[in-house]
Structure 1
C-alpha cells in the first residue's frame, strides 16, 4: 500500500507533517485509519494550527481543546472593521442605518476574509489570510478588499502610515503601498541583508528592519537609495534587540532577556550609545515588556497585562517618567494598540475598550455616534469636529475578540461570534425568492425589513 511507508514514520515526524496541513486535510486523515486518528488528534498538532492565528492561543489554559477552538474559529471567526470610511478603507459597504462606520461590523459574504493577522495603516486595512494571501482595502484600490497577487505566500505583516511590510516564505520582504508593490530584497535596498533579519517595522514616515550585529536599517520610500544604518551600542557591544516600535522621528526597543526599555532619536547620529529610559524598568517576574506604538505614542505592557507605561515624543531623557494611567493598571490586558490619536485595548476576557480622539465623527473608537455626548468621560473639544473620550469605554458587540489593530483613523479586530450581522450587499435570508440583479428600491426595501 502507498500509505505503508507513511505509517512507519515516527510520531514526531508525523506531527511535524501535520503542522503543514489545514484542518480539512487533518480531519480526512483522522477518518482514514486508527493510527492516523491517534496521531492527528494530538493536541500538539491543533495547537500549532491555533498559533497560526494571531491571538487565538494567547492566554488559553493548557487543558483547552485546541481542535475544538481551531474549528470554532474556522466556522465563526470574522474580521470586524470601523472608523474612517473614505476610499472604502473598511473593506465593506457602509450606510448610515444597518451598516455604520462608527461601530464594529463583520466582513461577511463576498467581502469575507478568513484572516490570521490584521494590520491597519493610515489609508487602509491589511488582511493576511490562512492561505498566505495579502488583502488590502482603502486608498490603493478605492474598492473593497483585493488580493496583492505579486507577493506569493506571506506569513507576517506590519503596517505603518503609508506602507505595509510583508515577509514571504522565500525570505523576501515586500513593501506594499497605495501606488506600488516593491520587493526590497531583490536588487533593491535590502538585497545584501536577505535572510539576516526577522524583525521589521513600518512607521509614520519611514520603514525599517533590525539586523543583528549591524543595527537598525531605515529608508524613506524603498527606492533604489541605500538605507541609513543606525548602529546602537550598550557599552562596547552592539545591541541585540528582541522587539521595537518605530514612531515619528524615534524608535523604542527592548533587548533580549531583559525588561529594559531604550530609545533612539533618528536625528542623524548614526553611531550612538543606547539611551535607557530608566524609569521604565520592570521586575523580571512581570516582564518582559510587550511594545506597541504609532505616530507619537508608544506603550509598554507587562507580561501579566497588569502594568502599562506609556510615552511620547517628549519622553526622551534617561530619567523621564512614564505616563501611568491608573485606569490601565491591573486590568489583565492582553493587547494594547494605537492609532494616530486613538487607542484600543483587548482584555483577557475578550472584551475591547477604546479611548482617545475622533475627528469629524470618523468612528475610529467604535462607540457609536458621539455627537452631543458630554460627561466625565467624554469631552467635546470642537462641536461637530472633534470629540475626545478621556477613559476607556467598552465597545459594544456580540463576539469574543482574539486580536486588535489600529492605525490612522481606523480600527479592526478578529473575533469569534455565534451571530454576526450579515453583509450589506447580501441582505436577504429569504429562501423562496431569488434576485439576480436587484434594483436600488428593492434592496432598500429588503434592508428596511430586517429585524436583527
Structure 2
C-alpha cells in the first residue's frame, strides 16, 4: 500500500480526483457523514453514484452510528444505506401487533390484564380476545429513547436496542412461569458495581454498552462494545456476565479504535435459541451452553461461570491473508467447510452458512453436544454469490443467490436420518419456494410459532401463515377487514389462516390507518350496500371468490403506495427490520409523519364492494360496472399454504 501510494505521488498528481477509486475508498471511512458529503460536493467527479453512494461507506456509517444490524442481502445497496442514515435521525418508530398477553406488545395498557394463555383446544373468552391487536400499533414510551437501532420479539416479550447501546424490554421473559404482566417498557439492568443501565450511564461504559443482542424464547443474550457476554432471564433481575471454564473470551479496553490485534477470542455475535444460548467466538467457533440463572441463595452474583459448554465442530476456521502458513488440516477445513458467515439456533439444530457457498446443520444431543455436521447439499451455491440463513424455533429460510427457500426441522430430520442410505440427499422433500418471495427483493424473513413475515428492499412487509386464536399476528386486520385481506377463520378454534391465493404475490402489512378505514368502508359497501349484498354473500361463502377479491384489494393498496412516496423514493412508512416470535410480530419503521398524515385515500372514492370477472369465467352479481385489475388478474399457484 505504501509503495503504491508513493508511486502515485511520484507522478505529481494535481488533484485528489486523480487517485483511483480503490485508494479513495480507503480514505472515506475516516470521515464522518458531514465531512464525506462535503467532500463529495467539491466537484462533479465525486458526485458520481459509485462515490457519493458508496455502499461500503454508508453501510459502515449507518451501522457504527446507529448500531443497526448488518443486512447481508442488501449490503451492496448504497442508496438504501444512505436513505436509512438520513431518516434514522428523526423518523425511527417501533410497531407491534398480535397477542398482547403479558403486555408483550408495549401498548394498550388501559385494557384489562390478561389471564394465562389458554390451551389451543379451548375457545378464548372475550377478555382474552380484547388483548389481541390485529393492526400495527406504535409502542408506547419509545419516543423518548432516541433512535431505535434494532428490535426483537421473544416468546412473551419485545426488546429494543437504542443507538446509544441500551436495551429496553416489555412483557415477560418466561411466560411459562410468570403469568402476570410486569408493566411498561423498562431498561434491562446490570449488576451492582455497574451503572444501572447504559441509558443512565453518564460516561462511556463499553462493558455495558450493547453492540448486538438476541432475544430467545425466554431469555436475552447480548454482547457489549468491550466484548462481554450478558444474559437476562427476568426483566426485573440484573444481567449475568457469562464466562467459560474452557473457552477464552477476549475483551477489549478501547472498542472502536483501529488496531491490528488478533481477533482470536473476540465475540462476533450471540444468538439466543429456544432453550439454548450461543456465541460465535473467533478461533473457537460456535459455542453453546444452557441459559444461566442465579441460584436462590446467591442473588447478589454478578456473573456466571459456565462449567459445561459445547462447541459445534468445524466452525472455527477463519480466512487469513497468510494462507501459506496454514496447516494441512486448516487448509482442508477451508476447502470443505469454509468460514462461518452466519448461523441460527433452532429447537433441535444449529444451521450455518459459510463463505464457500455451503449450508450445514448439526443436531443437538445431550448437554448441547453436536457430534458432527451435515451439509445440506440441495442448498449449495457458488462461492462469491449471496448466501444467508435466518430462522428460529422450528423454521428457517436460506437466501441462495436470489432465491428465498423456506424449510423446517422436519427437512433437517429427513436429511440427518438418511445420511447412510441417501448421502446425496436425493429427492428429499421439504424445501419450499413461495412464489411471493421470489424475485421480490426479500431482505429478511422472521418466524413466529405459526406465522412469518418477509421484509422487502422497498420497505414493505408481507405476511404469511396462521394466527392462532385470531390473535392478529399476521397484521392484516380482523373480522371482515381480515377476511377481505384473505384470512379464513376456523369456526372451532378461531385460528385464522391465509388463503393459498395470498402466496402468489403476498399480502402487505398496512401501517396507514387511512387505508384500513377505506377498506372497512369498502367491505360494508357504504355507497350502495343493497346493490352489493349478493356479491358480499358470495364473497363470504366461497373461499376462491374471497381469495380473488383479496388480491384485487391488494393491488389497489399497492397503487396507493406508489402515489404516496417521498423525494427519496421511500414511502410514508418504510420498514427497516422485522421480528416475530410466538403469537406476535413487530417492525422497526421509518415514518414520514407529514406524508402519513396526508389525506391519501381521497383518490379511492368508490366505496362500493368490488364487482369482478372471476378466473373461472363467473361474473359477480350486481348492476355496477365491473372493476378492472390494475396489474392484471394473476395466474394463481394454489398449492402453497403454510
1:266 maps to what in 2?
364
The answer on 1:393 being equivalent to 2:507 is yes
Match of 1:73, SS state, is helix
1:355-394 equivalent positions in 2, closer than 5 A: 355-370=464-479, 378-390=487-499, 391=503, 392-394=506-508
Bigger share in helix: 2
CA contact (8 A) 1:47 1:57 kept: no
CA distance in 1, matches of 2:73, 2:481: 39
User: Normalised by the size of structure 2, how large is the TM-score?
Assistant: 0.54
1:310-329 equivalent positions in 2, closer than 5 A: 310-316=407-413, 317=415, 319=425, 320-327=428-435, 328-329=437-438
**In the TM superposition, what is the alpha-carbon distance from 1:314 to its structure 2 partner?**
4.1
1:76-95 equivalent positions in 2, closer than 5 A: 76-93=91-108
One of 55, 62, 66 as aligned partner of 1:50: 62
CA contact (8 A) 1:259 1:284 kept: yes
One of 163, 173, 179 as aligned partner of 1:130: 163
**In the TM superposition, what is the alpha-carbon distance from 1:325 to its structure 2 partner?**
3.1
1:105 maps to what in 2?
137
Q: 1:12 to 1:67 in 2, by over 3 A?
A: same
CA distance in 2, matches of 1:62, 1:359: 37
Match of 2:90, SS state, is helix
| TM-superposition CA deviations, 1:422-451 (whole Å, max 9, x none) | 9xxxxxxxxxxxxxxxxxxxxxxxxxxxxx
Match of 1:126, SS state, is strand
**In the TM superposition, what is the alpha-carbon distance from 1:346 to its structure 2 partner?**
0.9
Match of 1:87, SS state, is helix
Match of 2:88, SS state, is helix
Superposed CA RMSD: 4.0
Q: How many positions carry a matched residue from both structures?
A: 397
CA contact (8 A) 2:381 2:401 kept: no
Structure 1 stretch displaced more, 275-284 or 160-169: 275-284
Q: 1:279 to 1:377 in 2, by over 3 A?
A: farther
The answer on 1:346 being equivalent to 2:455 is yes
One of 557, 578, 581 as aligned partner of 1:407: 581
Q: 1:95 to 1:259 in 2, by over 3 A?
A: farther
Structure 1 stretch displaced more, 43-52 or 69-78: 43-52
Match of 2:412, SS state, is coil
1:434 maps to what in 2?
none
CA distance in 1, matches of 2:167, 2:372: 38
Larger radius of gyration: 2
Can you give the 5+ residue segments of structure 1 that lack an aligned partner in the other structure? 1-10, 423-452
**In the TM superposition, what is the alpha-carbon distance from 1:167 to its structure 2 partner?**
0.8
Structure with more contact order per residue of length (Cα contacts < 8 Å, sep ≥ 6): 1
CA distance in 1, matches of 2:314, 2:83: 47
Q: 1:208 to 1:59 in 2, by over 3 A?
A: closer
**In the TM superposition, what is the alpha-carbon distance from 1:247 to its structure 2 partner?**
0.7
Match of 1:217, SS state, is strand
The answer on 1:192 being equivalent to 2:248 is yes
**In the TM superposition, what is the alpha-carbon distance from 1:75 to its structure 2 partner?**
1.7
CA contact (8 A) 2:285 2:314 kept: no
| TM-superposition CA deviations, 1:284-337 (whole Å, max 9, x none) | 46x332111111111102343x33242324423151344213323222211111
Structure 1 stretch displaced more, 50-59 or 404-413: 50-59
CA contact (8 A) 1:174 1:181 kept: no
1:76-225 equivalent positions in 2, closer than 5 A: 76-93=91-108, 101-107=133-139, 113=145, 114-139=147-172, 142-150=182-190, 152-178=208-234, 180-186=237-243, 192-195=248-251, 196=265, 197-223=267-293, 224-225=305-306
Bigger share in strand: 1
1:448 maps to what in 2?
none
Can you give the 5+ residue segments of structure 2 that lack an aligned partner in the other structure? 1-23, 112-130, 174-180, 191-196, 198-207, 252-264, 294-304, 316-328, 416-422, 513-572, 597-642
Match of 1:405, SS state, is strand
CA distance in 1, matches of 2:247, 2:345: 22
Match of 1:48, SS state, is helix
Q: 1:198 to 1:102 in 2, by over 3 A?
A: same
| TM-superposition CA deviations, 1:56-81 (whole Å, max 9, x none) | 99748867496665232222221111
Match of 1:394, SS state, is coil
1:291 maps to what in 2?
389
Match of 1:198, SS state, is strand
**In the TM superposition, what is the alpha-carbon distance from 1:87 to its structure 2 partner?**
2.0
CA distance in 2, matches of 1:65, 1:225: 41
Match of 1:101, SS state, is strand
**In the TM superposition, what is the alpha-carbon distance from 1:128 to its structure 2 partner?**
0.5
